[in-house]
């Protein structure tokens, strides 16, 4: 698009802002005034008019979603040039600088960012022996003091200063920085290293900042430092939407910017193209007396909209929910408003708890932005703890959090008691507890599983890609509910068709044939997900090249050239549907080959007794494995130089006489080390026995434990067969293997090698059978349409995919109905009825249910990194997520806090919780030590928060208030009086 066409699409004030010379510009842009369009136009103007190269342009904002929108809009105009423009959040930009210049910033190359919970736990541990009462309040006070110190340069009180020094020492030791240090360390780096600062000043010759009212003092210092020489900076702000002062944002930065850059007059966009005039005036009345930058600024509607504001008052929350669900249904059915154009806003997340349950029951699709999105999922927290523990196994704070989340509060407290009594580390106390005879067998098993699983992850991390590490962590989670497919996939029939990925590397065509148009459409859509832009319908056989791949889902009169997959010939009694078979092919293609366990040494010890801390070795054996085959072996008896326990002799049948003439371990040790070399060591129950013994003697002979990476096969066996016994004897019987002379070391390691191969084969098959879950909904639709729901696998794939198929997140349902002019509601009801018939307890789909898939989607970009770098950067990325990142472009009602709603717009908005001490918040009335702003300042911010909520709506707002909420009597919000003349009262 030409720049003149873009300029002509702007109104006069937007265009005036865009065409400003290369000078500092402040654009005050209220909601709906086209600020993003104007910002995009300014960036394009910099490229086309000022001829600034795209790689010299910086555009920063405050949310990932906003940054992505800027990026996509630039791509629409600038095409491939847009990729060269640096867009992102201020935190991600600063993190990028610190990653590049970690050394002068005083950071480890693999530093990462800790979260709020870690900070609180760390401070708790630092004050635990110094504070007797109100510890939580003290910690909160210290945390606030640290924030004020970093963001506002306020001096630390003496006690906080002492704790802060210890806090920084701990973070440095464990290669961590906190969220605010991302900014502070970037500012300090640019200030102390003029060469680096000048590099970034030269690199970014045009700087654009969106949502400037949300900047804190440190962010402003960074922005000012980068722009103060070339002064080509374009700032977009709206002081009426400044709602983050409670976390350090300083709207006064707008005035400071004007002073520092000598701006006499701001550019002001005054036409709101979103909301009706009544909504605009009501919103203005809320903030008009809040100390605004431009007190007289006022928006006007750009379009004539028949807008309305209503209120409804209720005695109970149930009555409120009745009206909300009725209203949402009415807007959808009677007014034909898409669900995606509706939102329910509220002051805090807890307001939505009952509403979400009601919407599920009423089958009203919704999506909810909660907390920090993905990182607030309970299971995701555990995954983060595991990643942190793998990254730094010596961080006892992380280990404590992980133990409490995985094993429970009681076990965590017992470990702490042992730690205190024995005066040892938490890690040592954890091992000690796993050996206590007085605790239950179940607790010992859980402890040993946990210890072994974590040790396996730490030891094997360098063998994994990042996605493999994530999968291993998820597999080991102790209480992760199994999905429907995970429960049923182990009973799938074998499918051994190989899918060679090399066939598809040269963009060869992928042809698809099905005699039925409906079936062919679904099959093509499935294949498109794997081979985008390559899939074509097979109509003319002569078009097929020999290097092309052909999928035949039904028979043809002739067979074309190419690599032929006769899917229609691959069914069996447990899988009658060709679509289920096509899915099995896709799973094989995706799964690929695991290469972790190609080379290793299996070893086993026979000993004088059962105590790994004191027993001696009487036999040691090992086999070396290459590509699944034993290529060498090692075995010898050992003279332990002490008597063998009678119980031990009864197990391995090695007598004192047998070992009397055998060499002692010190003679054997060099040969054993030479045999194992640097190979991965595998033992069964190794972390509880063999590894502990071998490391004890390694320390005796070499003053350190063996450096080899090790893996305990018992942990994997327990994960794979959780309801079975998993000793070598039990597994030998299960797999019908000959154990030989059982409990002699060489025979044990030989059979353990065979057992291990079976286990990892089963693991690979299970993983394959559960993969490609994004295709389940396609197969569910096809199997329903073709009435192939009787065979086991066909039914499983239908039930595994139907929830997403019937949700607003489906990728195929709307496309299919549109393609064949099918009534969506009628088809949806038929499919739902069949699903309930096959599985009466089936639940409605929620976009939070597929959190595992979202994890892998997010982790994809880290998969090619070295594992330490991948873990550090993935954890840092998670810390930069915000609630809006969970929202998708789907036809669903949005449930949002006021903060999460910022930047979004909807035709219809319901605002819940219009009660005093909810809006405004209870905390706004407090003269609080932790928030040193005056009550009037805090009330003003609450007004701006309501302003944000009001200005999300285009045409209709419904306020609701309840006389009794959360079990307490309530008064209506005083803010309602501010806009009384605009409100029509209902009930």
Q: Comparing 128-132, 375-379, 406-410, 483-487, which segment has the lowest mean pLDDT? A: 375-379
pLDDT tens per residue across span 900-944: 999 899 999 999 999 999 999 888 888 766 677 889 899 999 999
Average pLDDT over residues 750-763: 93
Q: How confident is the model at residue 334 (pLDDT cuts 50, 70, 90)?
A: confident
Contacts of 193 (CB under 8 A, 6+ apart): 101, 104
CA angle, residues 14, 294, 206, in degrees to nearest 5: 45
Q: How confident is the model at residue 857 (pLDDT cuts 50, 70, 90)?
A: confident
Query: How high does pLDDT run on average in the chain?
Result: 90
Same-fold call for 300-372+882-986 versus 376-481:
no
pLDDT tens per residue across span 944-959: 999 999 999 999 999 9
What is the percentage of the chain residues whose pLDDT exceeds 90?
A: 64
The per-residue pLDDT for 676 is 97
Per-residue exposure over 377-392, b if at least 16 CB sit within 10 Å of its own CB, e if not: bebbbbbbbbbbbbbb
Nearest residue to 390 via CA among 855, 863, 870: 870
The per-residue pLDDT for 817 is 95
CA 753 to CA 738: how far, in whole Å?
12
CATH 3.30.70.20, applies to 599-768 = no
DSSP lists the bridge partners of residue 207 as 58, 233
Q: Which two tokens stand for residue 322?
A: 């009745």
pLDDT: which is higher, 135 or 187: 187
Average pLDDT over residues 662-688: 95
CA angle, residues 199, 866, 452, in degrees to nearest 5: 140
The per-residue pLDDT for 745 is 83
562: exposed, middle or buried (Cβ count in 10 Å: 0-12, 13-18, 19+) = buried
Superfamily name and number for 3-104+182-269: P-loop containing nucleotide triphosphate hydrolases (3.40.50.300)
pLDDT tens per residue across span 408-439: 888 999 999 999 899 999 999 998 888 887 78
SS3 539: coil
Average pLDDT over residues 279-284: 94
Q: How would CATH label the architecture of 376-481?
A: Orthogonal Bundle (1.10)
Q: How confident is the model at residue 478 (pLDDT cuts 50, 70, 90)?
A: low
Question: Do the Cβ atoms of 39 and 208 come closer than 8 Å?
Answer: yes
pLDDT tens per residue across span 962-971: 999 988 888 9
DSSP lists the bridge partners of residue 600 as 625
pLDDT tens per residue across span 432-466: 888 887 788 788 888 888 999 999 999 888 888 89
CA 919 to CA 974: how far, in whole Å?
8
**HSE-up of residue 636 (Cα within 13 Å, Cβ side):** 18
The per-residue pLDDT for 374 is 65
Q: How confident is the model at residue 743 (pLDDT cuts 50, 70, 90)?
A: low
DSSP lists the bridge partners of residue 455 as none
pLDDT: which is higher, 846 or 628: 628
Q: How confident is the model at residue 845 (pLDDT cuts 50, 70, 90)?
A: low
Where in the chain are the domains?
3-104+182-269, 112-174, 300-372+882-986, 376-481, 489-592+772-838, 599-768
Q: Comparing 34-38, 252-256, 540-544, 983-987, which segment has the lowest mean pLDDT? A: 983-987
CA 407 to CA 184: how far, in whole Å?
37
Residue with tokens 């010890």: 605
With 60 as the cut, is the pLDDT of residue 985 above it?
no
Contacts of 254 (CB under 8 A, 6+ apart): 26, 212, 213, 237, 239, 293
The per-residue pLDDT for 499 is 65
26, 72, 691 from 243: Cα distances, Å: 19, 26, 56
Q: Which CATH number fits domain 300-372+882-986: 3.40.47.10, 3.40.50.300, 3.20.20.70, 3.20.20.210?
A: 3.40.50.300
Question: Do the Cβ atoms of 903 and 353 come closer than 8 Å?
Answer: no
Q: How confident is the model at residue 850 (pLDDT cuts 50, 70, 90)?
A: low
Q: Which two tokens stand for residue 29?
A: 């842009």
pLDDT tens per residue across span 51-101: 999 999 999 998 888 888 999 999 988 988 999 999 999 999 999 999 999
Task: Work out the angle between the directed axes of helices 217-227 and 194-203 (0-180°, nearest 10).
Answer: 70
Q: How confident is the model at residue 662 (pLDDT cuts 50, 70, 90)?
A: very high
Contacts of 312 (CB under 8 A, 6+ apart): 320, 323, 958, 959, 960, 961, 986, 987
CA 362 to CA 329: how far, in whole Å?
9
pLDDT tens per residue across span 497-519: 766 666 666 678 899 999 999 99
pLDDT tens per residue across span 583-600: 999 998 888 766 678 899
The per-residue pLDDT for 547 is 85
Q: Which two tokens stand for residue 537?
A: 């319908």
Enter the pTM of the model: 0.85
With 60 as the cut, is the pLDDT of residue 846 above it?
no
The per-residue pLDDT for 986 is 47
The per-residue pLDDT for 887 is 67
Q: Measure CA 641 to chain center.
A: 55
Q: How confident is the model at residue 315 (pLDDT cuts 50, 70, 90)?
A: very high
Average pLDDT over residues 460-480: 82
The per-residue pLDDT for 955 is 94
The per-residue pLDDT for 526 is 96
Contacts of 705 (CB under 8 A, 6+ apart): 695, 698, 699
Question: Do the Cβ atoms of 885 and 45 come closer than 8 Å?
Answer: no
């Amino acid at each position: 698009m030409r720049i003149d066409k873009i300029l002509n699409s702007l109104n006069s004030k937007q265009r005036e802002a865009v065409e400003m010379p290369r000078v500092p510009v402040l654009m005050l842009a209220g909601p709906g005034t086209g600020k993003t369009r104007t910002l995009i136009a300014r960036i394009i103007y910099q490229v086309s008019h000022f001829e600034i190269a795209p790689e010299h342009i910086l555009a920063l904002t405050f949310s990932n979603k906003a940054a992505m929108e800027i990026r996509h809009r630039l791509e629409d105009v600038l095409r491939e040039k847009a990729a060269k423009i640096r867009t992102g959040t201020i935190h991600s930009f600063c993190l990028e600088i610190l990653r590049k210049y970690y050394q002068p910033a005083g950071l480890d190359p693999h530093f990462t960012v800790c979260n709020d919970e870690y900070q609180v736990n760390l401070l708790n541990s630092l004050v635990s022996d110094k504070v007797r009462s109100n510890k939580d309040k003290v910690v909160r006070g210290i945390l606030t003091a640290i924030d004020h110190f970093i963001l506002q340069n306020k001096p630390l009180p003496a006690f906080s200063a002492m704790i802060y020094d210890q806090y920084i020492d701990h973070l440095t030791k464990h290669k961590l920085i906190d969220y605010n240090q991302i900014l502070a360390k970037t500012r300090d780096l640019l200030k102390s290293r003029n060469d680096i600062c000048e590099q970034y000043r030269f690199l970014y010759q045009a700087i654009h900042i969106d949502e400037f009212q949300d900047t804190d003092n440190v962010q402003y210092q960074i922005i000012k430092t980068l722009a103060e020489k070339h002064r080509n900076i374009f700032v977009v702000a709206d002081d009426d939407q400044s709602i983050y002062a409670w976390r350090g944002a300083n709207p006064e930065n707008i005035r400071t910017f004007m002073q520092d850059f000598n701006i006499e007059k701001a550019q002001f966009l005054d036409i709101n193209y979103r909301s009706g005039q009544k909504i605009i005036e009501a919103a203005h009345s809320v903030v008009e007396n809040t100390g605004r930058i431009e007190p007289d600024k006022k928006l006007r509607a750009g379009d004539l909209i028949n807008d309305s504001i209503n209120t409804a008052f209720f005695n109970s929350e149930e009555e409120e929910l009745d009206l909300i669900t009725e209203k949402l249904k009415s807007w959808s059915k009677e007014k034909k408003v898409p669900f995606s154009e509706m939102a329910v806003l509220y002051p805090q997340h807890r307001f939505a708890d009952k509403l979400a349950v009601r919407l599920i029951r009423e089958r009203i699709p919704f999506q909810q932005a909660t907390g920090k999105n993905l990182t607030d999922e309970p299971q995701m927290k555990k995954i983060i703890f595991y990643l942190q523990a793998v990254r730094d196994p010596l961080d006892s704070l992380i280990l404590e959090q992980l133990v409490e989340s995985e094993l429970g509060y009681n076990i965590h407290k017992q470990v702490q008691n042992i730690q205190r009594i024995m005066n040892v580390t938490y890690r040592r106390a954890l091992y000690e507890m796993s050996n206590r005879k007085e605790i239950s067998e179940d607790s010992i098993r859980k402890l040993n599983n946990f210890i072994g699983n974590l040790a396996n992850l730490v030891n094997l991390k360098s063998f994994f890609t990042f996605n493999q590490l994530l999968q291993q962590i998820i597999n080991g989670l102790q209480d992760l509910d199994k999905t429907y497919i995970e429960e049923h996939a182990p009973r799938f029939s074998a499918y051994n068709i190989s899918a060679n990925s090399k066939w598809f590397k040269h963009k060869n065509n992928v042809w698809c044939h099905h005699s039925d148009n409906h079936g062919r459409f679904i099959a093509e859509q499935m294949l498109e997900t794997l081979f985008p832009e390559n899939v074509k319908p097979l109509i003319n056989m002569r078009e097929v090249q020999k290097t092309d791949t052909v999928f035949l889902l039904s028979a043809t009169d002739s067979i074309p050239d190419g690599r032929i997959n006769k899917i229609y010939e691959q069914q069996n009694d447990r899988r009658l549907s060709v679509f289920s078979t096509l899915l099995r092919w896709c799973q094989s293609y995706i799964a690929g080959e695991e290469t972790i366990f190609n080379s290793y040494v299996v070893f086993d010890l026979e000993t004088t007794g059962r105590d790994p801390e004191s027993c001696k070795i009487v036999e040691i054996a090992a086999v070396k494995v290459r590509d699944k085959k034993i290529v060498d072996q090692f075995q010898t008896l050992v003279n332990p130089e002490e008597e063998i326990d009678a119980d031990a002799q009864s197990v391995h049948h090695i007598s004192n006489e047998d070992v009397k003439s055998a060499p002692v371990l010190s003679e054997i040790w060099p040969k054993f080390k030479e045999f194992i070399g640097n190979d991965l060591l595998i033992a069964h129950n190794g972390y509880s026995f063999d590894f502990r013994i071998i490391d004890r003697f390694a320390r005796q002979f070499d003053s350190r434990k063996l450096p080899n990476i090790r893996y305990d096969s018992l942990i994997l066996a327990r994960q794979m067969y959780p309801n079975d016994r998993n000793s070598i004897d039990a597994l030998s019987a299960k797999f019908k293997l000959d154990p030989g002379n059982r409990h002699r070391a060489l025979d044990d390691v030989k059979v353990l090698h065979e057992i291990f191969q079976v286990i990892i084969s089963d693991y690979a098959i299970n993983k394959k059978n559960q993969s490609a879950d994004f295709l389940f909904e396609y197969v569910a639709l096809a199997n329903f349409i073709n009435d192939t729901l009787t065979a086991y696998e066909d039914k499983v794939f239908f039930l595994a995919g139907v929830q997403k198929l019937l949700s607003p997140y489906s990728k195929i349902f709307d496309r299919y109905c549109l393609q064949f002019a099918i009534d969506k509601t009628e088809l949806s009801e038929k499919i739902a009825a069949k699903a309930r018939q096959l599985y009466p307890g089936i639940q409605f789909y929620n976009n939070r249910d597929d959190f595992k898939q979202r994890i892998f989607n997010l982790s994809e970009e880290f998969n090619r990194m070295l594992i330490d770098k991948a873990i550090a950067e993935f954890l840092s990325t998670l810390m930069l997520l915000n609630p809006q990142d969970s929202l998708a472009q789907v036809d669903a009602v949005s449930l949002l806090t006021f903060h999460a709603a910022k930047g979004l717009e909807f035709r219809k908005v319901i605002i819940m919780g219009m009660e005093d001490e909810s809006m405004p918040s209870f905390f706004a009335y407090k003269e609080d030590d932790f928030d040193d702003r005056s009550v009037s300042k805090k009330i003003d911010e609450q007004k701006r928060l309501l302003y944000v909520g009001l200005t999300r709506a285009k045409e209709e707002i419904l306020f609701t208030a309840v006389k009794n909420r959360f079990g307490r009597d309530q008064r209506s919000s005083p803010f309602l009086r501010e806009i009384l003349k605009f409100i029509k009262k209902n009930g």
